[in-house]
Chains A and B, each alone.
Chain A
Amino acid sequence: MKGAIRKLFLIELHRLWPIAAYFVPVMLASLSVLMTFATGRMQRQYNVAQQAIMLNLNFVVPLASAIFAIGSVSNDVKDGWLRTLLIRPITRQRYMAVKLAAVYCSLVITIVVAGILPNVAFAVFFSKTPVQFDLARVLYIHALILLQGFLYVVILLFLSCWLPGVFNVIALTFWAILASSISSYIQYVHWMDKWLVILKEYLFPSGFWDSIDVVMARTGTPVAELSWGFGALAIFLALAFWSISVIQVDKGSE
Chain B
Amino acid sequence: MNQRDITYAKRFAVVGCILLIVAAALEYWPSSTALQWLNIDEAKAVALRQRKPVLVDVYAEWCGPCKSMDKNVFPDDSVQLILKSRYVLAKINGDDPVLGDTLRKQFHIKAYPTYIVLTPTGRERKRHVGFYPRSPFIEWLNDSTGVQILQWQELDKVVMEASLQKRRVMILVLNSSEEIESANDMFEEQKVGEIIGKHFVPTLLVKSNSSDRTAIEQLGSTGQEGMGEVIVLESDRKEVGRFRIDSQMEFNRTALANKLTELVAK
Contact = CB atoms under 8 A, between A and B. Distances in A.
Interface in A207-254: 207, 213-214, 216-220, 223-225, 227-228, 230-239, 241-242, 245-246, 254
A208 to B, nearest CB: 12
Contact of A245 (B4, B11, B111): B4
A231 B76 contact: no
A219 B112 contact: no
A204 B26 CA distance: 18
Given A217-B72, A233-B16, A246-B6, 20 more contacts: A91-B5, A93-B8, A188-B111, A195-B62, A197-B64, A198-B64, A216-B133, A216-B134, A217-B134, A219-B72, A224-B27, A227-B19, A228-B27, A231-B18, A235-B12, A236-B16, A237-B9, A238-B8, A238-B16, A241-B12
B75 interface: yes
User: Is the interface on chain A under 10, 10 to 19, 20 to 34, or 35 or more residues?
Assistant: 35 or more
Contacts of B3: 86, 91-92, 245, 254
Contacts of B219: none
Given A213-B133, A218-B134, A241 B9 contact: yes
Contacts of B111: 187-188, 191
A213 B134 CA distance: 10
B152 to A, nearest CB: 32
B2 to A, nearest CB: 7
B22 interface: yes
B63 interface: yes
Nearest to B18: A231
Nearest to B134: A217
28 contacts: A89-B1, A91-B1, A91-B3, A91-B5, A92-B3, A191-B63, A194-B60, A197-B64, A201-B64, A213-B133, A216-B134, A218-B76, A219-B72, A219-B76, A220-B75, A224-B26, A225-B23, A227-B19, A230-B19, A231-B22, A233-B16, A234-B12, A235-B17, A235-B20, A238-B9, A239-B9, A241-B12, A245-B3
B73 interface: yes
A200 interface: yes
A242 B13 CA distance: 10
The 7 closest A-B pairs by CB, nearest first: A234-B16, A231-B19, A224-B26, A238-B12, A235-B16, A227-B23, A242-B9
Contacts of B29: 224
Contacts of A219: 71-73, 75-76, 134
A194 B91 CA distance: 19
B72 A241 contact: no
Interface string B91-132: 000000000000000000001100000000000000000000
A92 B9 CA distance: 12
A144 to B, nearest CB: 15
A245 B9 contact: yes
Nearest to A235: B16
Contacts of A245: 3-6, 9
B10 A227 contact: no
A187 B62 CA distance: 12
B76 A241 contact: no
Given A188-B111, A218-B76, A231 B8 contact: no
Contacts of A89: 1
Interface string B72-96: 1101100000000000000000000
B15 interface: yes
Interface centre among B9, B18, B133 (most CB of A within 10 A): B9
B23 A224 contact: yes
A227 B72 CA distance: 16
Interface string A154-191: 00000000000000000000000000000000011001
Interface in B27-69: 27, 29, 60-64, 68
A235 to B, nearest CB: 4
Nearest to A242: B9
B134 A198 contact: no
Nearest to B29: A224
A200 B64 contact: yes
